[in-house]
Amino acid sequence: MEAINERIKQTLESSPVLLFMKGTPDFPQCGFSAQTVAALRACGADFASFNIFEDPEIREGLKAYSNWPTYPQLYVNGELIGGCDIVVEMYHSGELKKLLDESAAKA
Amino acid sequence: MTQDRVEKIRQRLETQLQPELLEIEDESRLHAGHAGARDGRGHFRVMIVSPAFQGLSRIARHRLVFDAMGELMETDIHALAVQAFSPDEL
């Protein structure tokens, strides 16, 4: 448990905008992951992605770590922003672009 | 089976969040055959209005809904789309 949480922390620190998803941005393997990628791209965001299908340990561990039972999960500066519904809502309200622009300005 | 699942979801949300408005849709058929549907669990969409959401962030609202689902997230639900409002937001 300790070891996996350490790996999760290191992964979260690896990029300011990080999407844990099913598949990859160019080949998403789930409609919700695809919608989330589309929202990030529409904001012109620079983001990293993590394919949870390639890492079962992170896939299970992150659910417990973040207390969030489903994927995708978007993190900005190590903080969980939400899954597909929240990201898409924030995209429509303009909050997502604002958050991502602020994060990019800090980098 | 899917009607049972919708009923299970309804019962938990009604007991734990006392919604003023609650709509649950089973969207599993839209996902039949895709990778996420293979384990037999379903895709659902919930629109819920409850005073419990007053003043809470989106994340906190979704967590309340996930918490109300409990082990259903492991046994019955593969994906749960959530729209959660407090009564004064309508």
Domain regions of chain A by residue span: 2-106
Check whether A84 has a pLDDT greater than 80: yes
Cis peptide before A16 (omega within 30 of 0): no
Mean pLDDT of A33-52: 97
What is the ipTM metric for this complex? 0.84
Phi/psi at A71 (5° precision): -120, 150
Q: What single DSSP character describes residue B39?
A: T
CA A4, CA B57: separation in Å to the nearest integer?
A: 28
Q: What is the pLDDT of residue B37?
A: 64
Instruction: Tell me the percentage of chain A whose pLDDT exceeds 70.
Output: 99
More confident residue, B90 or A79: A79
Q: Which residues of A touch B35 (CB under 8 A)?
A: 22, 29-30
CATH class of A2-106: alpha beta
Instruction: Confirm or reject contact between B31 and chain A (CB < 8 A).
Output: yes
pTM: 0.91
Work out the minimum CA distance from B3 to partner chain A, whole angstroms: 22
State yes or no: pLDDT of A1 exceeds 70. no
d(CA A106, CA A59): 29
Inform me whether the pLDDT recorded for B1 exceeds 60.
no
Is the Cβ–Cβ distance between A61 and A5 less than 8 Å? yes
The CA distance from A31 to the nearest CA of chain B, in Å, is 9
Cβ B36–A30 below 8 Å, yes or no?
Answer: yes
Over residues B9-35, mean pLDDT:
91
CA distance B15 to chain A (A): 21
| C-alpha span between A17 and A100 (Å, rounded) | 8
Q: Is the pLDDT of residue B3 over 90?
A: no
Looking at every residue in chain B, the average pLDDT score rounds to 92
User: Does residue B29 belong to the interface with chain A, where contact is any CB pair within 8 Å?
Assistant: no
Stretch A36-60: mean pLDDT: 97
B82 and A CB contact within 8 Å: yes
Q: What is the pLDDT of residue B18?
A: 97
CB contact under 8 A, A82 and B31: no
Reduced to 3 states, what is the DSSP secondary structure of residue B27?
coil
Q: Specify whether the CB–CB gap between B82 and B62 falls below 8 A.
A: yes
Asked whether B73 and B37 are in contact (CB, 8 A), the reply is no
Mean pLDDT across B39-53: 94
For chain A, the residues whose C-beta falls within 8 A of a C-beta of chain B are 22, 29-32, 67-70, 80-86, 89-90
Specify the DSSP element, H or E, that contains B25.
strand B21-26
CA distance A96 to A103: 11
Domains detected in chain B: 2-89 (3.30.300.90)
Percent of chain A surpassing pLDDT 90? 94
